[in-house]
Amino acid sequence: MYMLFRSFFDEQLAHMSYLVGCQRTGEAIVIDPGRNVDWYIDTAKKEGLQIVAATETHIHADFVSGAKELAKRCGAKLYLSDEGDANWKYQYLDEVDYELVKEGSVFTVGNVEFKVLHTPGHTPEHISFILTDKGGGSTEPMGIFTGDFVFVGDIGRPDLLEKAAGVAGTADVGARQMFQSLKKFKALPDYLQVWPAHGAGSACGKALGAVPVSTVGYEKLNNWALKIEDEEEFVKLLLTGQPEPPKYFAMMKKVNKIGPAYLNDEEVQALQTIEQLNEYKANGAFILDIRPSQEFAKAHYAGAINIPFNKSFTNWSGWLINYDQDIVLIANQEDVQTIRKALAYIGLDRVVAYIEPSVALSGEVESYEEIDVHQLQQYLKDARYHLVDVRNQAEWDEGYIEGAQHMMLGTLADRLHELPEGKTYIVQCRSGARSAIGASILQAKGLKQVLNLKGGYLAWTREKLPVVKQS
């Protein structure tokens, strides 16, 4: 019997994970598991398999690993990297059954074989796994789990330890390690399938494709990073134009190194009165309204920040919510557990209460208006208005509206002191979605005169209105 192969894609995290099972022995392993381990457990049960192992390519920075949770719930043995220096060794191993692996290590789950390659660059401890389905009668490998080493159309960024975790000097070293690791990749057979840990939308690279699988040969032909033969040129290009790493990445590296807490299934308190919500706000809780931005704009609880529950929800929650803050949701009861799980995937576990929107709106209510680009043209002539562009650096570098002040959304709340006082603030992004979050931040922080540019920079350029280009 051949092996069973299943992939799982978390849209909000752009995270790919995998379950591989030996149908002869009924055993299965999960590769790069996220915290939503029910996915894997339910699938294994449906297929008549038992999860006996889990592994990961590296200490992840963008989500809470589910490996420790699988060890607890399934008794899974963990196969973890023993590469890299002492700063990036797993620190929870006394709680689990484990085996440390490195370059050349081989382990099996049933009749499926995994051979380890050390592929540093994204992180020092990063490893990849070459899979051979020996139970299916093959002596040749089928594919490689590349984690954050090689993506479809891109490679993993080497600057996260420096930018997100504050480890100085690691970006250049990581880029040079990546250059050497890619030589190993180029030497692999062209037919090998490539199974990465991320797709389009992840901040772990700058040009990830939206296709879930590739081959070594295809990547040799089409991946920009595999075409560059000069190391200095490679390092320069790899370190240029990477997106800003979300603030929560630093916490994820720490959590996944020391071992995440086990999931908590306790019920979330339902608030019945506006007075209860006011008390949480007074005590510093993050009041999170997950409704669509159009609804929020018309009326919202004063002090709430709006992060609509869509595929960007987890990313912006990680940027804006502090890990030492209690979180109160403004959401319908039927949505609370789904939202709570999404927050838990990045370790935001302090959801203490929720309140129905209708109850929240019985308190002090605020609103803001949306304007179009033609209105913006007129407002820019009036000194009482100030334009705030919350796009990322790469977008800003491609062009901006004259007079705008650039304050990337994830850093906006920490930079309010840089804004001129006493203005009406017009918030603008690429399409109008991020700027709606920005407008809610300004109002929650006491800057009440706020407008949101409908359609954003794209609407402005569609009308062929003037922009400033960086020289």
Domain termination site, one of 237, 258, 279: 258
Our separate counts of H helices and E strands in the chain read: 16, 26
CATH number of the domain within which 155 lies? 3.60.15.10
Looking at residue 438, what is its pLDDT?
99
Determine, yes or no, domain membership for 128.
Answer: yes
152 & 20 share domain: yes
Distance from C-alpha of 174 to C-alpha of 158, rounded to nearest angstrom = 5
212 & 335 share domain: no
379 & 359 share domain: no
Determine, yes or no, domain membership for 215.
Answer: yes
81 & 218 share domain: yes
Distance from C-alpha of 121 to C-alpha of 94, rounded to nearest angstrom = 28
How many structural domains does the chain have? Answer: 3
Determine, yes or no, domain membership for 308.
Answer: yes
Distance from C-alpha of 371 to C-alpha of 373, rounded to nearest angstrom = 7
109 & 195 share domain: yes
Structure-token match 């880029």, residue found: 175
Determine, yes or no, domain membership for 19.
Answer: yes
User: What letters, b where the CB count within 10 A reaches 16 and e where it falls short, cover 339-353?
Assistant: bbebbbbbbbbbbeb
79 & 95 share domain: yes
174 & 204 share domain: yes
Residue 22 known to be catalytic? no
Looking at residue 471, what is its pLDDT?
66
Residue from 22, 74, 204, 429 carrying the catalytic annotation: 429
Looking at residue 141, what is its pLDDT?
98
Determine, yes or no, domain membership for 467.
Answer: no
Domain coverage including residue 441: 369-462
- pTM summary value: 0.93
Going residue by residue through the chain, which has 471 residues, state the pLDDT in tens, using 9 for 90 and above. 789 999 999 999 999 999 999 999 999 999 999 999 999 999 999 999 999 999 999 999 999 999 999 999 999 999 999 999 888 899 999 999 999 999 999 999 999 999 999 999 999 999 999 999 998 889 999 999 999 999 999 999 998 888 877 777 889 999 999 999 999 999 999 999 999 999 988 888 887 888 999 999 999 999 999 999 999 999 999 999 888 889 999 999 999 999 999 998 888 999 999 999 999 999 999 999 999 999 999 999 999 999 999 999 999 999 999 999 999 999 999 999 999 999 999 999 999 999 999 999 999 999 999 999 999 999 999 999 999 999 999 899 999 999 999 999 999 999 999 999 999 999 999 999 999 999 999 999 999 999 999 999 999 999 999 999 976
What one-character-per-residue DSSP string does 42-89 give?
HHHHHTT-EEEEEE-SS--SSS-BSHHHHHHHH-PEEEEE--S-GGG-
